[in-house]
């Protein structure tokens, strides 16, 4: 893939590409406000509740204000009915839609993925006399990007000038470019920048350049990233800022080029006199921790403090994680104590990081004690925290405690995810606790969680191997209801076991389930 490279002041290093074509999507048809109710009310018998409500409102108030119309559109769940409300209020004498009412209906249609209707509304907006705000289009671009309709992002951007009758702002340009690049739509980004550079008399600012720097760092093309920074320095309106340097340092750290990252950090301080913030420091702290140089990371933290920048919870959590990775539990505990002494409150990430460290070291009593301390401090443990503890208990063969947690926690208002059950189930199979595994599977299925495909097959075979054919059949029938399709060797093993026990009727029933299903 040809990498993005740019030179805005002299030329673009791009080859042009064809303009994006609009994607077709099934959606609501658009009927103009003038024609809509001539046909709609002939088909609706009785009229929708929202329309009845609207007529009732007209009788009481005689006039629906813009604020009331917006509220009704926002709170209407059915996008078709929201569109009816939008059209109906425009029939009022003296009522003209404004930017806010258009924004409300477009947002509702975008949420419901009614893209054809959106196109029709945008077309209608071209003939409105009211002044529209650019934020409507930024919101639409984000919706289309989430739906992977990237050519529509470009198309919505091109709708800005004809409708609001002004050139797109630099914010709109940076939003469009960022959405395209984050979605890895490099060809569209090239075309967009060619169009922007050719048709709009706007010079790119630092924000736009930073998007390009981020892209090159993300793809590992640090040379192109530094080329963009050189270009930035040729203009006062696009001079590198803290975000530029932080992005470059992050790219260098991820590439293992820590010395260059530190050199760049010093250049930022001495030459450009840009002061780093906690995020910039965290990039270096994390970079050294990931490289196994946690002592150097601690020195950066000390330098940070000595220069008047107080570490935040993320800086401390990153350092704790670095010590934990090296198995240096005393130092990790010391950093954890520093959090409290500094006046900060440890969050879920900090607690979970240290709990994981205890679990990996087999110090489960300390882990469970810290879990209780976490609860006492009013810090809510999440599913990740409990999964760490469940894994630690299972590794130490404290299976009854793990099973007790799975049984108890949901009744205490704790959310567990599928991994919580799968972790424990896998360990039960590993240690040969087949009956307990079957019981846990029953609990899982009852709570709407399904085990891995391979785990399900293994459990069926293991139950047969220990002569639990009846349990295996019950397990299989429960799994079949979830859409599970066992491997041939699993159910053949089960059928053979049942036949050996001369229980032919269950065998035939299973065969019927498997062949018909």
Kindly report, residue by residue over 401-456, the tens digit of the pLDDT: 999 999 999 998 888 999 999 999 999 989 989 889 988 988 988 888 888 888 87
Calpha distance 391→398 (Å, rounded):
10
Give phi and psi for 92, each to the nearest 5: -65, 140
* Residue written as token pair 């891995």: 452
DSSP 201-269: -----HHHHHHHHHHHHHTT-HHHHHHHHHHHTT-GGG---HHHHHHHHHHHHHTT-HHHHHHHHHHHH
Q: How many angstroms separate the Cα of 196 from the Cα of each of 177, 178, 202, 295, 433?
A: 10, 14, 8, 48, 65
Kindly report, residue by residue over 361-378, the tens digit of the pLDDT: 999 999 999 999 999 988
Asked whether the predicted pLDDT for residue 38 surpasses 50, the reply is no
* Residue written as token pair 């009785």: 46
Asked whether the predicted pLDDT for residue 218 surpasses 60, the reply is yes
Q: What is the mean pLDDT of residues 234-255?
A: 93
Would you call 352 helix, strand, or coil by DSSP? helix
Q: What is the mean pLDDT of residues 506-512?
A: 57
When mean pLDDT is compared across 265-269, 384-388, 481-485, the lowest value belongs to 481-485
Kindly report, residue by residue over 179-192, the tens digit of the pLDDT: 998 888 888 888 88
Kindly report, residue by residue over 43-66, the tens digit of the pLDDT: 333 444 444 555 554 455 568 899
Asked if 208 and 170 touch (Cβ cutoff 8 Å), the reply is yes
pLDDT of residue 445: 86
What is the chain's mean pLDDT, rounded? 83
pLDDT of residue 62: 64
Q: What is the mean pLDDT of residues 346-362?
A: 93
When mean pLDDT is compared across 23-27, 260-264, 403-407, 471-475, the lowest value belongs to 23-27
pLDDT of residue 246: 97
Contacts of 229 (CB under 8 A, 6+ apart): 209, 213, 240, 244, 248
Which of 89, 98, 77 has its CA nearest to residue 36?
A: 89
Calpha distance 63→177 (Å, rounded):
43
Asked if 476 and 494 touch (Cβ cutoff 8 Å), the reply is yes
pLDDT category, 398, cuts 50, 70, 90?
very high
CB-hemisphere CA count at 13 Å for 89? 28
pLDDT of residue 514: 54
Asked if 84 and 40 touch (Cβ cutoff 8 Å), the reply is yes
pLDDT of residue 200: 65
Which of 462, 471, 514, 517 has its CA nearest to residue 493?
A: 462
When mean pLDDT is compared across 49-63, 293-307, 462-476, the lowest value belongs to 49-63
pLDDT category, 385, cuts 50, 70, 90?
very high
Q: What is the mean pLDDT of residues 495-517?
A: 58
Q: How many angstroms separate the Cα of 257 from the Cα of each of 77, 249, 266, 323?
A: 52, 9, 15, 21
pLDDT of residue 451: 83
Q: What is the mean pLDDT of residues 98-105?
A: 94
DSSP 516: H
Q: What is the mean pLDDT of residues 131-144?
A: 93
Asked whether the predicted pLDDT for residue 234 surpasses 90, the reply is no
Calpha distance 17→194 (Å, rounded):
9
Question: How deeply is 436 buried, as exposed, middle or buried, from its count of CB atoms within 10 A (0-12, 13-18, 19+)?
Answer: middle
Asked if 165 and 130 touch (Cβ cutoff 8 Å), the reply is no
pLDDT of residue 512: 60
Q: What is the mean pLDDT of residues 213-224?
A: 93
* Residue written as token pair 């001495």: 270
Cα dihedral 152, 158, 162, 166 sign: positive
pLDDT of residue 250: 96
Query: Per mean pLDDT, which of 327-331, 468-472, 482-486 is the most reliable?
Result: 327-331
pLDDT of residue 28: 43
pLDDT > 90: percent of the chain: 55
Asked whether the predicted pLDDT for residue 350 surpasses 70, the reply is yes
pLDDT of residue 515: 55
When mean pLDDT is compared across 153-167, 326-340, 467-481, the lowest value belongs to 467-481
pLDDT of residue 472: 73
pLDDT of residue 9: 38
pLDDT of residue 199: 66
Calpha distance 4→134 (Å, rounded):
27
Cα dihedral 144, 149, 154, 159 sign: negative
Question: How deeply is 489 buried, as exposed, middle or buried, from its count of CB atoms within 10 A (0-12, 13-18, 19+)?
Answer: exposed
∠ CA 21-98-36, rounded to 5°: 70
Calpha distance 208→18 (Å, rounded):
23
Determine the length of the chain: 517
Kindly report, residue by residue over 103-122, the tens digit of the pLDDT: 999 999 999 999 999 999 99
Asked whether the predicted pLDDT for residue 503 surpasses 70, the reply is no
Question: How deeply is 469 buried, as exposed, middle or buried, from its count of CB atoms within 10 A (0-12, 13-18, 19+)?
Answer: buried
Which of 456, 393, 461, 401 has its CA nearest to residue 427?
A: 393
Give phi and psi for 436, each to the nearest 5: -65, -35
* Residue written as token pair 């250049």: 267
């Amino acid at each position: 893939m040809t990498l993005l490279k740019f030179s805005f002041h002299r030329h673009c290093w791009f080859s042009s590409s064809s303009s994006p074509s609009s994607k077709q999507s099934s959606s609501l048809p658009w009927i103009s406000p003038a024609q809509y109710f001539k046909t709609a009310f002939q088909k609706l018998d009785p009229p929708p509740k929202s329309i009845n409500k609207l007529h009732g409102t007209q009788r009481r108030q005689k006039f629906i204000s813009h604020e009331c119309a917006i509220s009704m559109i926002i709170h209407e769940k059915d996008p078709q009915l929201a569109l009816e409300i939008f059209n109906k209020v425009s029939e009022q004498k003296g009522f003209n839609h404004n930017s806010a009412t258009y924004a409300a209906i477009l947002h509702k249609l975008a949420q419901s993925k009614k893209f054809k209707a959106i196109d029709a509304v945008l077309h209608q907006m071209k003939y409105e006399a009211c002044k529209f705000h650019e934020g409507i289009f930024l919101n639409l671009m984000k919706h289309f990007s989430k739906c992977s309709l990237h050519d529509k992002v470009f198309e919505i951007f091109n709708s800005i000038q004809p409708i609001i009758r002004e050139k797109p702002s630099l914010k709109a340009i940076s939003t469009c470019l960022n959405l395209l690049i984050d979605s890895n739509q490099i060809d569209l980004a090239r075309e967009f920048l060619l169009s922007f550079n050719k048709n709009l008399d706007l010079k790119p600012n630092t924000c736009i350049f930073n998007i390009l720097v981020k892209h090159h760092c993300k793809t590992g093309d640090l040379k192109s990233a530094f080329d963009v920074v050189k270009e930035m320095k040729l203009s006062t309106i696009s001079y590198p800022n803290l975000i530029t340097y932080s992005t470059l340092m992050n790219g260098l750290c991820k590439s293992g080029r820590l010395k260059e990252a530190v050199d760049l950090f010093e250049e930022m301080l001495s030459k450009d006199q840009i002061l780093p913030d906690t995020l910039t420091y965290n990039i270096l702290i994390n970079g050294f921790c990931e490289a196994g140089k946690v002592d150097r990371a601690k020195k950066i933290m000390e330098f940070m403090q000595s220069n008047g920048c107080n570490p935040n919870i993320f800086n401390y959590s990153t350092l704790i994680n670095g010590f934990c990775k090296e198995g240096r539990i005393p130092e990790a505990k010391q950093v954890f104590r520093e959090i409290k002494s500094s006046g900060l409150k440890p969050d879920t990430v900090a607690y979970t990081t240290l709990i994981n460290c205890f679990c990996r070291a087999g110090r489960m009593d300390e882990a469970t004690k810290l879990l209780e301390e976490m609860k006492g401090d009013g810090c809510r443990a999440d599913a990740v925290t409990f999964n760490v503890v469940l894994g630690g208990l299972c590794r130490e063969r404290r299976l009854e405690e793990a099973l007790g947690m799975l049984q108890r926690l949901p009744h205490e208002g704790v959310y567990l995810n599928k991994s919580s059950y799968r972790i424990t189930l896998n360990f039960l199979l590993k240690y040969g606790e087949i009956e307990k595994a079957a019981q846990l599977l029953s609990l899982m299925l009852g709570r709407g969680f399904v085990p891995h495909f391979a785990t399900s097959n293994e459990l069926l075979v293991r139950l047969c191997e220990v002569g639990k054919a009846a349990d295996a059949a019950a397990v299989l029938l429960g799994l079949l209801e979830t859409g599970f399709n066992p491997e041939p060797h699993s159910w053949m093993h089960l059928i053979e076991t049942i036949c050996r026990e001369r229980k032919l009727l269950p065998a035939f029933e299973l065969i019927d389930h498997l062949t018909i299903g």
